[in-house]
Chain A
Amino acid sequence: MKRKKIYQNILLLVFLMVTVASCRDLTDLNVNPNGVDPLTVNPNLVVPTVITATAIPYLEMGYHGDIAGVMQYVQKSGWGSGLNNFDWISERSWDSYYSNLRNIRLLTERSVAEGYEFHHGVSLILRAFTFGYITDGWGDAPYNAALNAPAGEQTDMFPAFDTQETIYKGIIEDLKQANTLLSKSTEAYKGIVNEADVIFNGDPLKWRKMANSLMLRYYLRVSSKLTDYAKSGIEEIISDPNTYPVFTSIEDDATMSYIGTSNSDSWPANTTYDASESNFSRIQLGAGLRDVLVELHDPRLAVWFNKAKVPIQVSKQYAPETDIRVDGVRYIDPDYMAANNMVIYNRNNWVADVSAGKVLVDTMEYVGIPTAYLAAEPYTYNLNPSPVQGGYNEHVSALTDMYRDAAGDLLKARLISYSEVCFILAEAAKKGWSVGAQKNWYEKGIQASLDTWEVGDRYDAYIMNDGVIYDGSLEQIMTQKWIANWTVAVESWCDWRRTGYPQLAFGPRGRRNAMPLRFRYDANEKNRNSDNYSDAIENLVETPFTAQDGKDSSWSKIWLLQ
């Protein structure tokens, strides 16, 4: 009996210990200790997120993305059918853009809650910029009903599409609001952390100038559809620089520098973090850019591209050898060329030559790959003796060595520049709008671009070159704007769609016999929001090149182009 008592006590003790130990409040246990609550997050922790997520994809698209290829800045020797052959028949995801807009919206909400007007203004500019990219690329898109899933209604989860007109006007309104929000002096703002602003280092005036410069961009974008709206908008900005300050020098350019400590914060396709170099070596000069820059004796070409490592010359000097390399030059016998159906690349005739089955031989110092000249990846171009998909080609120009680096003074993601502003105003002047002299803006635009690429000292000579010297034509403005928008190919593509300049030749081997006009809608959007998608594509107008794509084709016309 006594022993039983002891056991009884032990048992009770154990039981007590177990139950006491277990008295934890279940609600407290489920409080997440690991992350920041989005309802209380400091806006400065989101600012770098949304800036980098805006700038990085824009640069990549404009530097070595599909649009950079279509606009003939570069071509790729492998995995580049979207650049080389307009192979735009697949859907293009807009997921990352709307995801970025979700964070931008959070930034807006948190800035308003905290009374951070600077951050609020920045968020509106980034929102406008991102929606600008979306509607430029795809056309009509969810705008007013977008980003609202937490509200939970069916119309929130499955947003209706808005017309381009609505979106562009919304963008302008956001930019106007940003202009107002950012109109105070720096000291008047709460909460600015300079380092978090990886574009302008916390300078409200520069953001304000960017908002107004972007307003010029989007007004001009809709100028053929909403002419009066665009004209009065641009004239209002230019007439009132105190209310609407815009970029006035390249110091104002909206550019983001890279960090360079790991691949995710480095210049794309660098060779520091890709030891095999295959991402770098596949990016090669486009013949379209080369032809224009060579013709204009443009000093920027050497900043961006190397000469072909081994030039080709057509010569009989080593007969009877027909194809021989001597002292780093490859000599090809003209008779041998003729016998083998080869022809020297000629800017004005190459399309006909290729269509006739000729093999092109490019004998210039700088060699660029012509667009859509081959069905396959163009790694065999210019008699490449070691044709490798995505590989280096000793007879074609590669990027200059600075582009191998992970970061650098000239390696910046450019969103909009002073030089673009100049060309916008030159075009507006050409339209007869009161924004100042066309020649003045044209020349300022060129000067700004040359300064940007550190060849400003060549301006005086360059501006007098044939083709550069001011002739008052729209083509000249657009051509110079296209050159200046190197790595900002998205903007050049929008300009080309609008004006038809620069006139770019392309070969017979494009996926369709025309340059693409838009992106096909996102596959997830199409599959998950199919009713609204089906309504939206009714607003697209098919062209002879839409083929079996139906209305949602990369060759259909969006409202802007109709």
Chain B
Amino acid sequence: MERKVLQVILLGIFLSLSGTAFAQLNVSGVVKSSDGEVLPGVTIVFKGTSNGVLSDVDGNYNINLPNAQAVLVFSFVGMQTQEIQVNGRSEINVTLESATIGVDEVVVTALGISREKKSLGYSVAEVKGESIQMVAQENVLNSLAGKVAGVNISSTGGPGSSVSMVIRGASSLTSDNQPLFVVDGIPMNNTLNNVSQMGGDNKADYGNAISDLNPADIESLSVLKGPSAAALYGSRAGNGVVLITTKSGKQKKGLGITVTSNTVVETPYKYLPMHHMFANGNRPYTQDNRPNNGLPYQVIDPATSGWVGPELDKGILAYQWPYFNAAGELTSTPLVSHPDNYKNFFETGYTTDNTVSISDATEKIDYRVSYSNMQNKGVIPNSDLHKHSFSLNSSIKLNEKMSVSSSINFTTSGADNRPAGNRGANPMQALYELNPHIDVRALKDYWEEGREGLQQKAPYQLEINPDGTYSKGDFINNPYFLAHEVNNGFQRDRIYGHVKLDWKLTQKLAFQIRYTHDQFHEFRDTKIAMSYSKEPNGYYGLANLYRREQNADFLFSYDTQQGNFNLSVSAGGNYMYQYASNNTTKAKDGGSGLIVPGIYSISNIINTNIQYSSAWSRKAIYSAYALASVGFKDFAYLDLTARNDWSSTLPEENRSYFYPSASLSFLFNNMVEMGSAVSLAKLRGGVAMVGNDTEPYQLLTTMTDAGAWGDQTRLTSSGTLLLPNLKPEIQTSWEVGADLALYDNRLRFEGTYYSSENENQVLNIGLPPSSGYNAKQINAGLISSKGLELSLGATPVKTNDLSWDVNLVYSRNRTRIEELSEGFNYITLWTDAKGGAVTWVGEEIGNIIDKKMLRVEDKKSDYYGWPIIDDEGWDSSDGTWERDGKRVAPVIGNFNPDFTLGIQTTLHYKKWSLSASLDWRKGGQFVSQTLRYGESDLHSQRWIDRTVKVNHLDDVAGYIKANAGQYLSPDGMFFVVVGGPTAETGGFEHTEGGITLHDGVFMPGVVGEYDDNGNFVAQYENIGGDETQYIRYQDFYGWDYTRTATFDADFIKLREISLSYQLPSMKSIGIQNATVSLYSRNLILWTKASIGIDPEMAFQPESSEQGSSGSMFKQGIERFNVAPWTIPVGIKLNVSF
């Protein structure tokens, strides 16, 4: 039926086509730019109407005039609009001057409609292709960091890792909050959740699929931030939309060839601050003062996690791995440190990226073809990434009124090995857990001699048998072995494209119909050789992923001018269909592995050890939408949109949901005379709603496979209660803003304040286990976000030879939980390290909570505030989160920044230009599991430096008391350790097993109990006096507290710096333009925590979604995501013919 109606409309439109304009006076001419290039596509209209023509590819135009006194208005993207009185002339050639950036900027908005930025009532950020391409980044998202207000980019690791882009804070708690990417009208599949695990403790991040986009093909990129900007993209636009326009042949007439070549070399320079003072062990024994093993020297066990063994570089002799000399005799050697282990292990990384493109444009047809090739070798040995992409973009003008455009892109990307993250098979973990008494270079040939392919050469514990022979005990993984023999490869072939017909039915009515298609197939396989500690028998597994999204849409647009009003109305519809499948076939984790070593094939796994899984899903959404835009004179604009979606993922009764938006803008500079200093003075505001559906099959649970027991299937029911009558989430937001441009646009300001409320949140809320369920999905609650985005730009210097631009971008966002469902007071994003990211109603998302250290709470006591120590010398803690519905767990930080500030600056001098982009993150915290594990085993120099070293004082207790504010108060240092591993490092005398060393420490506090009236009754002070309980340094670490390993996340980073030079003209040899540039990126200049870990890497990959977060990444925490800091140096050559 719907179709019938449309047919009638179409026919009507066809009929009206025959009515055309009367032939009257005629004017023609050529439009050129100030540098003499012809300009195709210039809009030429009669002033006061929207009637007009476009210039052709040669810049020619021809227009029939209603009268001889008509005024023609010439306008073009990026050019100053010109008005010319015809005055009876028949030929008018026009030269358009470049517009000063900003004021007359045209941006791409929803549904791909180009709009003058000044007319918009909401905030849209435009990023030009050049600024993305200036410094090559493997994933285009990395180029956006710090450049767009309100956009937060977090990279989870090095090249090839997932990159998260969150616009205006997390608005939904059940999705990964990634914006929708639309490339030339094609919605692109992109998700953050690309971590998978095949094989025991082998979690690899395969990177997000948006990296298939070739940065060199991008013409421009618009970020539609709020829902008002995005209302027309529907459900998926709740997190914002990134619209990408790729380059086409249109820009330039005639054949053009461009070659770009990039090479970046990355040199590691900063590693984790591990100490190299002690060998493995729990106490720093000496030759004369050690447990007797019946041997002349002590044996160092490299599998001991503690690093408080005998001191290195003191000439102490020991039996240390590999223990035996060439003759096979147990031989003692001096313990020496190898401080360069990390430097020796990591390699220089490099990336080359080359693009060739050919474009051409004639009157009828234009096209652009490009090919890019990227090769990367990472700083971790045997890690790589490669990508080839082809694209073809073309449009054909069928006649004056119709044109067809299409694009097709093919990308094939992959890696032979994506190193594992987190802990387990991660080579960086093995490296940083290798004690400095072992030279990592001794492990480089990573097979045991004579057992190649069967047994890694790994440091092991030496066991002495009663008969005097030796055998191997526990061993540790060799980092080279993990890097080379745990291989997580992938290959992703992606094809996406569109075909579109534009039809100008009449002067005022246009029609567009489009089909878009995006699909990829990704193949992952993991090969693990024999002897990895978690897969001793080897491993093979493969996974096939397939994703497809198809969209068909149409749009009618009608433009008219009535008096002072300019009206434009569009209406259309969209059909979207998604299909996804995942199939895996692999050995069971920690299983019997491969039958024959080294053959990686499913047929080489015994049947009972094979694990299969297969799943597929479908989803469709029907949509109908309309938008209207009314302009009054040149100073007031009103935009209205409306959309209705019907989603297959919701129950029938809630399937249809409607959402409108409205926005308004006033250009005061066009309303009243404000003097020549004011180029733009605009106020804007908007209100919008966006509805959001969910993933397929979220209404009813099914049984899942708990893994077969022998040949018996084990199914388990879901521990999450779902809601069969799920309602769509509704996000309502408003924003107000002001844009100001002064002094010919040399001073620019944009500010936006926004607020959004997300209702009917679909959340997993924790249930008490006794209810039989861990979580219940609720469709209630309210989450609010508020934020401020400011950008300030200035061009302090502008002459013909010299210009200097500087732009500041400031963002802050706060997201709070306003309401949850009855009986539920908090949601959990993740738990780890004894605490977690948990938010109570009324508090902010991102809060990190901890256990509470017990301190004297009796205000009448002399010891008020002191830690309560038990009679063994240990601290006491309380892990209760909530009491009587209120949070009692302390909040020790928040993983979100207070604000971020990005600064971009460019200096042009003649043919030279220097650009830099700097980022400052202020505030926020992160948890380092790397240091938590490392420091609890006393691996770090930081922990040795941190202890209070007062063992030389006569009156330690007096000193501690005199400095009570620092050592005993809750406001002082957290988890105070007085003492150290040796006398020199502050340790006290301590005897264990009859052996006395100076590795005693204590925690200052008081021992005692509360009496029945709640008064604290002290037994004795534990502050260094006689009764003090000393504990061995190796045992004492604040393992029970998240806070021990929580650090400030503030940093300043030099994202990009680039110096480029335009080579002198070489037109004689056919080169139009040649530029060479030198650049660097991601240089970390300062971190507040100063622990050698990039706070941006606090993004821990897991193999399943975490808590209520919908993300496989735990934000604000990292575990062995500690690639060394590098100095990348890149060179880029760009030549166009």
Q: Which residues of A are at the interface with B, using a C-beta cutoff of 8 A?
A: 1, 3-4, 7-8, 11-12, 14-16, 18-19, 21-22, 24, 26-27, 29-30, 32-38, 41, 45-46, 48-49, 52, 90-91, 93-95, 98-99, 101-103, 105-106, 141-142, 146-150, 154, 156-159, 195-196, 198, 259, 261-265, 272-278, 281, 309-310, 323-325, 327-330, 340-342, 359, 375-376, 380, 383-389, 391-392, 394, 509, 522-530, 534, 547-548
Q: B306 — which chain A residues lie within 8 A by C-beta? A: 389
B702 adjacent to A527 (CB under 8 Å): no
Interface check B715, CB cutoff 8 A: yes
Q: How far is the CA of A391 from the CA of B282 in the complex (A)?
A: 12
Q: A8-B14, A36-B715 are in contact. Are A198 and B709 (CB under 8 A)?
A: yes
Q: How far is the CA of A103 from the CA of B398 in the complex (A)?
A: 65
Interface check B787, CB cutoff 8 A: no
Q: How far is the CA of A93 from the CA of B721 in the complex (A)?
A: 20
Q: B701 — which chain A residues lie within 8 A by C-beta? A: 35, 38
Q: A22-B622, A36-B702, A159-B768 are in contact. Are A196 and B712 (CB under 8 A)?
A: yes
Q: How far is the CA of A42 from the CA of B141 in the complex (A)?
A: 49
Q: A16 — which chain B residues lie within 8 A by C-beta? A: 3
B715 adjacent to A45 (CB under 8 Å): yes
Among A52, A142, A391, A525, which residue has its beta carbon within 8 angstroms of that of B303?
A: A391
Q: A102-B719, A264-B588 are in contact. Are A30 and B713 (CB under 8 A)?
A: no
A265 adjacent to B702 (CB under 8 Å): no
Among A27, A265, A273, A527, which residue has its beta carbon within 8 angstroms of that of B648?
A: A27
B703 adjacent to A45 (CB under 8 Å): yes
B766 adjacent to A90 (CB under 8 Å): no
Among A18, A37, A90, A198, which residue has its beta carbon within 8 angstroms of that of B552?
A: A18
A158 adjacent to B3 (CB under 8 Å): no
Among B6, B771, B872, which residue has its beta carbon within 8 angstroms of that of A159?
A: B771
Identify the closest chain A residue to B590 (Cβ). Answer: A263
Q: A12 — which chain B residues lie within 8 A by C-beta? A: 7, 10
B854 adjacent to A48 (CB under 8 Å): no
Q: How far is the CA of A557 from the CA of B934 in the complex (A)?
A: 39
Q: A340-B994, A359-B993, A394-B464 are in contact. Are A90 and B879 (CB under 8 A)?
A: yes
Among B655, B703, B770, which residue has its beta carbon within 8 angstroms of that of A98?
A: B770
Among A158, A327, A548, which residue has its beta carbon within 8 angstroms of that of B823?
A: A158
Q: B298 — which chain A residues lie within 8 A by C-beta? A: 385
Interface check B461, CB cutoff 8 A: yes
* Distance from B700 Cβ to chain A, minimum over Cβ atoms (Å): 7
Interface check B735, CB cutoff 8 A: no
Q: How far is the CA of A307 from the CA of B893 in the complex (A)?
A: 52
Q: B767 — which chain A residues lie within 8 A by C-beta? A: 149, 157, 528
Closest A-B pairs by Cβ, 9 of them: A328-B466, A35-B702, A385-B293, A325-B294, A262-B591, A263-B590, A275-B536, A529-B768, A147-B772
Identify the closest chain B residue to A310 (Cβ). Answer: B466
Q: How far is the CA of A524 from the CA of B3 in the complex (A)?
A: 56
Q: How far is the CA of A18 from the CA of B573 in the complex (A)?
A: 12
* Distance from B828 Cβ to chain A, minimum over Cβ atoms (Å): 10
Q: How far is the CA of A389 from the CA of B648 in the complex (A)?
A: 56
Q: How far is the CA of A24 from the CA of B537 in the complex (A)?
A: 48
* Distance from B175 Cβ to chain A, minimum over Cβ atoms (Å): 18
Identify the closest chain A residue to B937 (Cβ). Answer: A389
Q: A386 — which chain B residues lie within 8 A by C-beta? A: 293, 299, 301, 461-462
Query: Which of the segments B376-384, B467-475, B625-633, B1067-1075 contacts the partner chain?
Result: B467-475
Q: How far is the CA of A526 from the CA of B880 in the complex (A)?
A: 8
A525 adjacent to B770 (CB under 8 Å): yes
Among B293, B713, B717, B769, which residue has its beta carbon within 8 angstroms of that of A522?
A: B769
B461 adjacent to A392 (CB under 8 Å): yes
Q: List 30 A-B contacts (CB under 8 A).
A: A8-B10, A12-B7, A14-B515, A16-B3, A34-B616, A45-B714, A45-B715, A46-B703, A90-B879, A103-B716, A147-B770, A149-B721, A198-B709, A259-B709, A262-B587, A262-B592, A264-B589, A272-B536, A273-B590, A274-B590, A327-B467, A328-B467, A385-B291, A385-B293, A386-B299, A391-B474, A527-B766, A529-B771, A548-B868, A548-B1009
Q: Which residues of B are at the interface with A, using a C-beta cutoff of 8 A?
A: 2-3, 6-7, 10, 14, 17-18, 200, 282, 291-295, 298-299, 301, 303-306, 398-399, 402, 461-468, 473-476, 501, 503, 513, 515, 531-534, 536-537, 552, 554, 575, 577, 587-592, 606, 608-609, 614-620, 622, 646-649, 652, 655, 696-697, 699-704, 706-707, 709-719, 721, 766-774, 776, 822-824, 854, 868, 870, 872, 876, 879-885, 992-994, 1009-1010, 1031-1032, 1035
A102 adjacent to B773 (CB under 8 Å): yes
A148 adjacent to B10 (CB under 8 Å): no
Taking A49-B714, A261-B609 as known contacts, 16 extra A-B pairs with beta carbons closer than 8 A to each other, sorted by chain A number, are A11-B501, A34-B614, A48-B714, A95-B774, A98-B771, A106-B717, A157-B768, A262-B609, A263-B589, A273-B591, A275-B532, A278-B474, A391-B473, A392-B473, A522-B769, A547-B870
Identify the closest chain B residue to A35 (Cβ). Answer: B702
B885 adjacent to A530 (CB under 8 Å): yes
Q: B710 — which chain A residues lie within 8 A by C-beta? A: 198, 259, 261, 265
Q: B577 — which chain A residues lie within 8 A by C-beta? A: 22, 24
How many contacts A-B (CB < 8 Å)?
338
Q: A359 — which chain B residues lie within 8 A by C-beta? A: 993-994
Q: How far is the CA of A27 from the CA of B706 in the complex (A)?
A: 29
A142 adjacent to B292 (CB under 8 Å): no
* Distance from A499 Cβ to chain B, minimum over Cβ atoms (Å): 30
Among B531, B707, B776, which residue has its beta carbon within 8 angstroms of that of A264?
A: B707
Q: A46 — which chain B residues lie within 8 A by C-beta? A: 703, 714-716
B466 adjacent to A329 (CB under 8 Å): yes
Q: How far is the CA of A33 from the CA of B717 in the complex (A)?
A: 16
Q: B1009 — which chain A residues lie within 8 A by C-beta? A: 547-548
B398 adjacent to A149 (CB under 8 Å): no
A149 adjacent to B773 (CB under 8 Å): yes
Q: B652 — which chain A residues lie within 8 A by C-beta? A: 26-27
* Distance from A523 Cβ to chain B, minimum over Cβ atoms (Å): 6
A154 adjacent to B609 (CB under 8 Å): no
B649 adjacent to A30 (CB under 8 Å): yes
Q: B293 — which chain A residues lie within 8 A by C-beta? A: 385-386
Identify the closest chain B residue to A93 (Cβ). Answer: B769
Q: B462 — which chain A residues lie within 8 A by C-beta? A: 386
A525 adjacent to B466 (CB under 8 Å): no
B10 adjacent to A11 (CB under 8 Å): yes
Q: How far is the CA of A148 from the CA of B767 in the complex (A)?
A: 11
Q: B876 — which chain A residues lie within 8 A by C-beta? A: 548
* Distance from B310 Cβ to chain A, minimum over Cβ atoms (Å): 12
A49 adjacent to B716 (CB under 8 Å): yes
A281 adjacent to B823 (CB under 8 Å): no
Q: A45-B703, A49-B714, A386-B301 are in contact. Are A392 and B463 (CB under 8 A)?
A: yes
Identify the closest chain A residue to B554 (Cβ). Answer: A15
Among A35, A150, A394, which residue has its beta carbon within 8 angstroms of that of B721?
A: A150
Among B474, B503, B533, B776, which residue has its beta carbon within 8 angstroms of that of A149?
A: B776
Among B552, B591, B715, B879, which residue has its beta carbon within 8 angstroms of that of A22?
A: B552
Q: How far is the CA of A376 from the CA of B649 in the complex (A)?
A: 55
A276 adjacent to B291 (CB under 8 Å): no
* Distance from B595 Cβ to chain A, minimum over Cβ atoms (Å): 12
* Distance from B434 Cβ to chain A, minimum over Cβ atoms (Å): 15
B646 adjacent to A26 (CB under 8 Å): yes
Identify the closest chain A residue to B883 (Cβ). Answer: A530
Identify the closest chain B residue to A7 (Cβ). Answer: B402
Q: B704 — which chain A residues lie within 8 A by C-beta? A: 35
Identify the closest chain A residue to B398 (Cβ). Answer: A7
Q: B515 — which chain A residues lie within 8 A by C-beta? A: 14, 18
Q: How far is the CA of A157 from the CA of B501 in the complex (A)?
A: 56
Q: How far is the CA of A386 from the CA of B298 in the complex (A)?
A: 8
A48 adjacent to B713 (CB under 8 Å): yes
Q: B10 — which chain A residues lie within 8 A by C-beta? A: 8, 11-12, 15
B769 adjacent to A48 (CB under 8 Å): no
Among A105, A272, A277, A394, which residue has its beta carbon within 8 angstroms of that of B474?
A: A277
* Distance from B506 Cβ to chain A, minimum over Cβ atoms (Å): 13
Q: A527 — which chain B residues lie within 8 A by C-beta? A: 766, 880-882
Identify the closest chain A residue to B514 (Cβ). Answer: A18
